Amino acid sequence: MSLLRVRDLHKNFGGLKAVNSFFLNISPGEFVGLIGPNGAGKTTVFNLLTGIYKPDRGEIIFEGEEITGLSPHRITQKGMSRTFQGIRLFKEMTVLDNIRTAYHPHIQYSLPDALFRTKAFRRKEEEAMEYLISLAKIFKLEKWLKAEARSLPYGEQRKVEIVRALVARPKLLLLDEPSCGMNPREVSELMELLTYVKERYSLTVFLIEHRMPVVMGISERIVVMDFGEIIAEGRPEEVRENPRVIEAYLGKSEWQS
Amino acid sequence: MKQLFGLLVIIYLVLRSLFTFGLINPYGQQIVLYTGIIMIWALGLNLIYGFSGQFSLGHAAFYGLGAYAGALLTKLFPSFFAIVPLSLLVSLLIPSLVAFLIGIPVLRLRSDYLAIATLGFGIVVKILFDNADALTPKLGGSRGMLGIPKYTNLEIVFVFVGITLIFIRNLIYSKYGRALLALKDDEITADVMGVSTMRYKVMAFTFGSGLAGLAGWLYAHLYTFLHPTNFEFLKSIDCLLIVVLGGMGSITGTVIASIVWVFLIEGLRSFLPSYLIEWRFIIYPLLLIMMMLRRPQGIFGKKEARLFRESSWYESFKS
Amino acid sequence: MSYLFQQLLNGLQLGSVYALIALGYTMVYGIVRLINFAHGDIFMVGAYVGYFALSVYRIPFPLVFPLAMVVCAVLGMTIEKLVYKPLRFAPRINLLITAIGVSLFLEYFTSLRFVFGPNFLAYPQPFKIERLNIGGVTINSITIMIFAIVFLLLLILEVIVYRTRIGMAMRAVSYDKETASLMGINVDNIISFTFGIGSALAAVGGILYGIAYPQIHPFMGIMPGLKAFVAAVLGGIGIIKGAVCGALIMGIVEVLASAYISSTLRDAIAFSLLILFLLFKPTGIFGREESEKV
């Protein structure tokens, strides 16, 4: 049974065909990578999957349920969460609040509970706090919790983004260039982290990456896009040798003489 | 929160004695009550704009809706003993309902367009007030509505200021408040994080407008006279000024700014020699401009007095 | 039937005056994304300059227009330099609030006794009014003058914006300020120029309004300003032909609402239509969707 099934997805912006006839199938527990030159449409695919853009044509089916055209928060509540290519933390909030906000759908109390500060309110808030703090400890972020999100070093901000995506207990995690801006040491830490997280939380991961060592090393399967279309798909070794893929990245061999 | 409660009680007792022993003259008493009313009104806008980032230029319209709705009831049924709580409820509910109905379509708009839409709404409502005597002559229309019973007193104002402060504070320091702050910060990301942005925008708008309506009731039953010009677009600007002056997203800021604003308007009226009275309408916008140029974050920015901040059970988690 | 045409004519006349104001709003918004609330008050100042020029200083009628245009252009550009420019990179809301402050200041300052005074003043009639009757519809020379002047100004504006270098610079800055400055365009000057043109047009609008609806007072700019702004949004804010279209529609709607429904509810109807329109097509008649890149 597939976790995510995408059929014939299309998205135009004015005259530009950003995504053209995109098909995808991801099974539970897979680690799939999405690569392609800049402007290939990878982030647009993520935006379509998470409901930020509405597709012009096509279907997106998550866990057997059609989610095409749903608003982002509904899709997230169904178990798909993501990080962004540029960090989009809530700048004015603390790290803790950033994470707590993502936990919003799981904190169950009503408005009167909040207004009157009932026992239910206190209990749920405390439970949330415990869970979030323990999560922060796993990712070594607990010393940053009360700091304003924008004051953190870049690498730590990236971690917060990832933790924020995890907090919602997703089944499918979409990561948009998580290693962007990191140095090699941080990158290898990230790779360990991602592997650990995937195992521990039984996640399925769909990853956009530019760093070939990362994506080749960690993905079981890779999808390659160029100019809005899929040009290749398969195991990392296969894709690496695929002439169309090489051409997309390096250009036609005619120019190389 | 116990501290807040305690402080409110103390302030009430002080004011109560000052009033009863005549240490503040009737005009001064009215000013104090008016300050409380403005505070509730401004806290409503702070919820909509300061915390949720929805730029509403029609806040005075909801103030007016609450005022007229409540006043009509008390005028129509002066001897019915339960009319006070009933009309208070109406003053709260009618603006809330209107805000809810308007909010659902309008809050989808981007900030500039939202400003225009709420501006337009405010103008339409004001014109409706001008023509209200077509509905029933008791509403007065463009000549104004007279004869509203004077029910507002220190106790009522205090109770509602207290409830408003406590409720807003409790709202902000809960998952609902975080949702609002998130959508103000970055609406798309908030949505992706699982926060139903439309639902919470409408919620904040409804609540804040309801508070405006409540303030309107208190206003109508203090001054006993309503005129449509009290609720025009320029008045919405007044409220905006208070929220911005105090610092968007700061309860403390709004409270202090409300007090400062009332005393500025009244103070200028008392202290300026008569030939300079008109100048207070020039000082006022100059102040606004100066504020934007020099200290746009307002007096308090985002700072919040310890009184209002998240309670101590959270502090105990400091590791 | 001729009643309808008469009202349509009146509406077009009103709309033409609104167009002059709306253009200023739309050009300024297009270039700095600011809703210049003070624009309606510049319109008011223009009317007053015309008033003083005609009744007090007895300046010949054709010269009154350029005089008011210059005064208002200078006023507009001064406001921009003093108050808006320092806030150019501030959040939009701050600019909006500042613009509101400037607007209030202009209104209350000019209503001081030693400035324009708070009273309504009757506008002088600078020439004899001829009336023409075509098939039951009365056209008077004021209407013709308004159409002629507005048409002429629109033509001149069209030439400036689309056929001169400075116009090209204006368009470039409105698409992308940073890139325009990298291309060697002096962005500050272009912005000043835009404010200047917008204010000059509003000044003419003020004089025409004063002649056609002959009562002026310091707060006269509020309603026409708001309506012209609404018109600019209706047509698609930032788009010149949108402002003109929107203004004409606004004028016609207002006059028709007043004639056929109710004159007291006229403004309520006009603004209600606006809100309804905004809900379905917020970008306006000619507007394009502006989507945020994620």
Report the residue of chain B nearest A118, measured CA to CA: B170
Q: Is the pLDDT score of A256 beyond 70?
A: no
Q: Where are the domains of chain B?
A: 28-232
Query: Using only C-alpha atoms, what is the Rg of chain B?
Result: 20
Mean pLDDT of chain C: 88
Q: Where are the domains of chain A?
A: 4-256
Task: Report pLDDT for C293.
Answer: 62
Q: Classify the C-alpha dihedral B160-B261-C34-C13 as positive or negative.
A: positive
The C-alpha atoms of residue B37 and residue B42 are separated, in whole angstroms, by: 9
What's the angle, vertex CA C251, arms to CA C247 and CA C252, rounded to 5? Answer: 120
Lowest mean pLDDT segment, chosen from A101-105, A135-139, B223-227, B268-272: B268-272
Confidence of residue B17 (pLDDT cuts 50, 70, 90): confident
Residues contacting B279, CB < 8 A, separation 6+: B272, C112
CB C15 within 8 A of CB C251: yes
Both tokens of B274, joined, read 């008569």
Lowest mean pLDDT segment, chosen from A54-63, A142-151, B116-125, B277-286: B277-286
Q: How many CB pairs under 8 A join A and B?
A: 101
Chain A residues near any Cβ of chain B (below 8 Å):
50-52, 71-74, 76-77, 81-82, 84, 88, 90-93, 97, 100-102, 104-105, 107, 109, 111, 114-117, 121-122, 125-126, 129, 133, 142, 146, 164, 168
Least Cα separation, residue B205 to chain A (angstroms): 15
The C-alpha atoms of residue C110 and residue C89 are separated, in whole angstroms, by: 30
Q: Is the pLDDT score of B314 beyond 60?
A: no
Helix, strand, or coil here: C178?
Answer: helix
Q: Which residues of B touch C237 (CB under 8 A)?
A: 112
Q: What is the mean pLDDT of residues A110-134?
A: 89
Which residue, chain included where needed, has tokens 């005022």? B67
Task: Report pLDDT for C81.
Answer: 94
Top-ranked range on mean pLDDT: pick from B275-284, B306-315, C18-27: C18-27
Q: Which residues of A touch B314 (CB under 8 A)?
A: 125, 129
Q: How many CB pairs under 8 A join A and C?
A: 5
Q: What is the mean pLDDT of residues B10-36?
A: 87
The C-alpha atoms of residue B102 and residue B57 are separated, in whole angstroms, by: 13
User: Does C216 reach chain B within 8 Å, measured CB to CB?
Assistant: no
Q: What is the mean pLDDT of residues C173-182?
A: 86
Helix, strand, or coil here: A81?
Answer: strand
Q: Is the pLDDT score of A180 beyond 90?
A: no
Subunit contact B109:C292, Cβ cutoff 8 A: no
Task: Report pLDDT for B311.
Answer: 58
The C-alpha atoms of residue A133 and residue A236 are separated, in whole angstroms, by: 37
Task: Report pLDDT for B278.
Answer: 72
Task: Report pLDDT for A145.
Answer: 87
Q: What is the mean pLDDT of residues B267-280?
A: 72
The C-alpha atoms of residue A208 and residue C242 are separated, in whole angstroms, by: 42
**Among candidates B181, B194, B197 on the partner chain, residue whose Cβ is nearest the Cβ of A102:** B194
More confidently predicted of B209 and C265: B209
Least Cα separation, residue B106 to chain A (angstroms): 18
Q: Is the pLDDT score of B318 beyond 50?
A: no
Q: Is the pLDDT score of B96 beyond 70?
A: yes
The C-alpha atoms of residue A81 and residue A50 are separated, in whole angstroms, by: 7
Task: Report pLDDT for B310.
Answer: 65
DSSP A144: G
Q: What is the mean pLDDT of residues B9-19?
A: 87
Subunit contact A91:B185, Cβ cutoff 8 A: yes
Q: What is the mean pLDDT of residues C117-131?
A: 83
Chains that touch C (3 or more CB pairs under 8 A): A, B
The C-alpha atoms of residue B46 and residue A177 are separated, in whole angstroms, by: 38
User: Does C279 reach chain A within 8 Å, measured CB to CB?
Assistant: no
Confidence of residue C119 (pLDDT cuts 50, 70, 90): confident
Q: What is the pLDDT of residues C59-93, one digit of tens each?
A: 888 889 999 999 999 999 999 999 999 998 888 77
Report the residue of chain C nearest A45, measured CA to CA: C294
Task: Report pLDDT for A91.
Answer: 87
User: Does B45 reach chain C within 8 Å, measured CB to CB?
Assistant: no
The C-alpha atoms of residue B116 and residue B107 are separated, in whole angstroms, by: 12
Q: Is the pLDDT score of A252 beyond 70?
A: no
Query: Per residue, what are the HEC states of chain B?
Result: CHHHHHHHHHHHHHHHHHHHCCCCCHHHHHHHHHHHHHHHHHHHHHHHHHHCCCCCCCHHHHHHHHHHHHHHHHHHCCCCCCHHHHHHHHHHHHHHHHHHHHHHHHCCCCHHHHHHHHHHHHHHHHHHHHCHHHCCHHHCHHHCECCCCCCCCHHHHHHHHHHHHHHHHHHHCCHHHHHHHHHHHCHHHHHHCCCCHHHHHHHHHHHHHHHHHHHHHHHHHHHCCECHHHHCHHHHHHHHHHHHHHCCCCHHHHHHHHHHHHHHHHHHHHHCCHHHHHHHHHHHHHHHHHHHHHCCCCCCCCCCCCCCCCCHHHHCCCC
The C-alpha atoms of residue B246 and residue B244 are separated, in whole angstroms, by: 5
Q: To the nearest 5 percent, what fractions of chain B are helix, strand and coil?
A: 75, 0, 25
Task: Report pLDDT for A257.
Answer: 41
Task: Report pLDDT for C66.
Answer: 94
Task: Report pLDDT for B135.
Answer: 80
Burial C143-153 (b: 16+ CB within 10 A, else e): bebbeebbeeb
For strands A57-62 and A221-226, give the pairing. Answer: unpaired
**Among candidates A72, A116, A117 on the partner chain, residue whose Cβ is nearest the Cβ of B191:** A72
Is domain A4-256 classified as CATH 3.40.50.300?
yes
Q: What is the mean pLDDT of residues B192-202?
A: 94
Q: What is the pLDDT of residues C213-230, one digit of tens each?
A: 888 999 999 889 988 988
Task: Report pLDDT for C291.
Answer: 61
Q: Which residues of A touch B167 (CB under 8 A)?
A: 115
The C-alpha atoms of residue A29 and residue A49 are separated, in whole angstroms, by: 18
Report the residue of chain C nearest A13, measured CA to CA: C291
Both tokens of B319, joined, read 């590791």
Q: Identify the residue among B165, B168, B173, B189 best suited for mutation to test binding to A, counting A beta carbons within 10 A and taking the highest.
A: B189
Q: What is the mean pLDDT of residues B205-231?
A: 94
Identify the CA nearest to C236 among candidates C95, C92, C27: C27
Q: Which residues of B touch A114 (CB under 8 A)?
A: 170-171, 174-176
The C-alpha atoms of residue C20 and residue C247 are separated, in whole angstroms, by: 9
Q: Which residues of B touch A52 (CB under 8 A)?
A: 188, 191-192
Top-ranked range on mean pLDDT: pick from A228-232, B209-213, B305-309, C144-148: B209-213
Q: What is the pLDDT of residues C31-43, one digit of tens each?
A: 888 889 899 999 9
More confidently predicted of B98 and B271: B98
- Residue C219's φ and ψ, nearest 5 degrees, are -100, 15
Both tokens of A171, joined, read 């089944």
**Among candidates C93, C104, C275 on the partner chain, residue whose Cβ is nearest the Cβ of B121:** C275
Q: Identify the residue among A108, A115, A173 best suited for mutation to test binding to B, counting B beta carbons within 10 A and taking the highest.
A: A115
User: Does B97 reach chain C within 8 Å, measured CB to CB?
Assistant: no
The C-alpha atoms of residue C109 and residue A71 are separated, in whole angstroms, by: 50
Q: Is the pLDDT score of B95 beyond 90?
A: yes
The C-alpha atoms of residue A219 and residue A142 are separated, in whole angstroms, by: 29
DSSP C124: P
Residues contacting A208, CB < 8 A, separation 6+: A33, A34, A35, A42, A43, A46, A85, A174, A175, A176, A177
Identify the CA nearest to B308 among candidates B240, B249, B252, B227: B252
Which ipTM score applies to this complex? 0.88
Identify the CA nearest to A38 among candidates A205, A174, A209: A209
The C-alpha atoms of residue A89 and residue A151 are separated, in whole angstroms, by: 11
CB A187 within 8 A of CB A5: no
